[in-house]
Amino acid sequence: MEADFMQRIIVGVTGASGTIYAIDLLKKLAAIPDVETHLVLSQWAKQNLALETTLTLTQVKKLATVTYHNNDLGAAIASGSFLNDGMVIVPASMKTVAGIASGYGDNLISRAADVALKEQRKLIIVPRETPLSVLHLENLTKLARLGVQIIPPIPSFYDHPTEIQDLVNHQTMKLLDALAIANHAAPRWQGNGVTQ
């Protein structure tokens, strides 16, 4: 994108467990003045928000610059002419992964991901499922071969986390790094057992 534009990041939240990862990413992006976020939550993501957090849907929507309904296939982010700096699907359900891998854009999250693929823009997927079946692995491998960055929420322990937020911060750091957004979301490995 041209330098005069703010960074535009699309965030898709699906019905897999792990809504906390999306919320943390949105909070950290909201704290950066030159980043504009475009948020889409699936219906099951909304259900998980109520199950897994104490935040309301209104509170989460306020963390984003723009929000869309997942059925709105006429939204700006459904078009390749909408310039952006990347899309993150966090967490990504295996249903969504399968849909993207097969080019089945039946909702806005899948369509925006399909646009990222066809326009060769950055697409990051945070798959949240275990154990992974061969079918799951094949779909993720297919997407990785197409240039999608797969960043599962796998915790690190070299920084001696003491609470859940420490683990979430590490994941958000990985996502911000992948988006080329400078951050200090979590301690970094410095070598020889030192973190900073």
Paired tokens of 173: 């750091």
Residue 70: per-residue pLDDT = 98
Residue 30: per-residue pLDDT = 97
Mean of per-residue pLDDT scores for the chain: 95
Residue 5: per-residue pLDDT = 65
pTM confidence score: 0.94
Binding residues for FMN, by number, are: 15-17, 42, 93-96, 128
Residue 192: per-residue pLDDT = 79
Paired tokens of 9: 């990041």
pLDDT band at 3 (very low <50, low <70, confident <90, very high): very low
Binding residues for dimethylallyl phosphate, by number, are: 158, 174
CA-atom Rg of the chain in angstroms: 16
User: Residue ranges per domain, the chain?
Assistant: 7-182
Residue 189: per-residue pLDDT = 87
Residue 28: per-residue pLDDT = 97
Binding residues, by number, are: 15-17, 42, 93-96, 128, 158, 174
pLDDT band at 1 (very low <50, low <70, confident <90, very high): very low
Residue 48 has pLDDT above 70, yes or no: yes
Q: What DSSP assignment string belongs to 80-104?
A: TTS--S-EEEEEE-HHHHHHHHTT-
Assigned superfamily of 7-182: Flavin prenyltransferase-like (3.40.50.1950)
Residue 4 has pLDDT above 70, yes or no: no
**Close Cβ partners of 35 (under 8 Å, ≥ 6 residues apart):** 6, 7, 8, 9, 29, 181
